Amino acid sequence: MDVKISAGWKKALSNEFKKDYFLGIVALLKNEIESKQVIYPPGSHIFNAFNTTDLKDVKVVIIGQDPYHGPNQAHGLSFSVQNGIKPPPSLVNIYKEIEKDLGINMPRQYGDLTQWAKQGVLLLNASLTVRANQPNSHAGIGWQIFTDAVINVLNTQKKNVVFMLWGNFAKEKGAHIDEGRHLVLKAMHPSPFAADKGFFGCRHFSKANEYLVKNGIDPIDWIIIEQ
C-alpha cells in the first residue's frame, strides 16, 4: 500500500507500513467504507497531521486520543475542528489557558489549529480514525501500535521536542519519552470534567516557548487568527 504521507515521515515509518497490523488497518477501513460505514476524518485527512507537520519540522507534540466523531469536525489534527465548526469544550478550555498564560485573545467561534501545525506543532491523535457517532470505535484496530511507533521516532530521532501530555491516557502514551532529551509537560485533560483540577494554570504554552528559545529553536506563535 502506498500511504500518502510527507517524505520525512514516510522514510521514518516505512517499515510500519509493511507490517501485518498496518495492513490489517487498511483492510478493515476498506471493508467498513465498502459496507457504507461512515468514517471520520475523510480519507484525505487521515494523515493530515503528518502532511502538515513533517518530521524535520516537529517542535511540539500535543497528544489526543480519538478523532471527533460528528459530521464535519475531524480533519486529522488533535483537538482541532474544521473551519465553520464551533470549538468543542476541550478546545475552548485550551484557548482559555492560552489567554491566561500568554495574555492574548483567542477566537470564540473558530477551532482550526492548522496554523499551529504549520509552525511545527504535531497534533497527534492516538487513533487516526473513528466510526461516525461511535467514540473510540477504532481504538483497537492497530492505530495505537502505529502512533506508538510515531512517538518512538520522535523520541529517538529528534532532540528538544516539547511533549504536552494532558490526562492519564496521554501520560501513559508518552511514558517512555526520554526526559533528558526532550521536555515533557504533564497536566490534567482540558475537558470540562478535569480542566479545573490541574489543566488551568499549567502554563504549558509559555513553558514550551521558553524551552524552545533556550535551545535555539524559534518559538510557536500560539495565537489563532480566523481565516
Containing structural domain, residue 20: 7-214
Beta sheet of 183-187, edge-to-edge order: 121-125, 60-64, 162-166, 183-187
pTM here is 0.97
pLDDT at 212: 98
Which residue among the candidates 2, 20, 57, 66 is catalytic per the annotation? 66
Give the torsion sign (CA, 122, 128, 129, 135).
Answer: negative
Residue 173 lies in a domain: yes
Q: What is the CATH number of the domain that holds 163?
A: 3.40.470.10
3 state DSSP class of 147: helix
Q: For the chain of 227 residues, list the mean pLDDT of each consecutive stretch of 10.
A: 85 97 97 95 96 98 97 97 96 98 97 98 98 96 98 98 97 97 98 96 98 98 95
pLDDT at 227: 87
Residue 226 lies in a domain: no
The rounded distance, in Å, linking the Cα atoms of 161 and 156 is 11
- Catalytic status, residue 66: yes
pLDDT at 2: 61
Residue 1 lies in a domain: no
Residue 121 lies in a domain: yes
Residue 185 lies in a domain: yes
Residue 162 lies in a domain: yes
If one counts every other C-beta atom within 10 angstroms of the C-beta of residue 20, the result is 8
Residue 227 lies in a domain: no
Residue 224 lies in a domain: no
Contacts 24+ apart (CB under 8 A), 101-105: 101/203, 101/204, 101/205, 101/206, 102/205, 102/206, 102/222, 102/223, 104/222, 104/223, 105/223
pLDDT at 3: 78
- Provide the number of structural domains found in the chain: 1
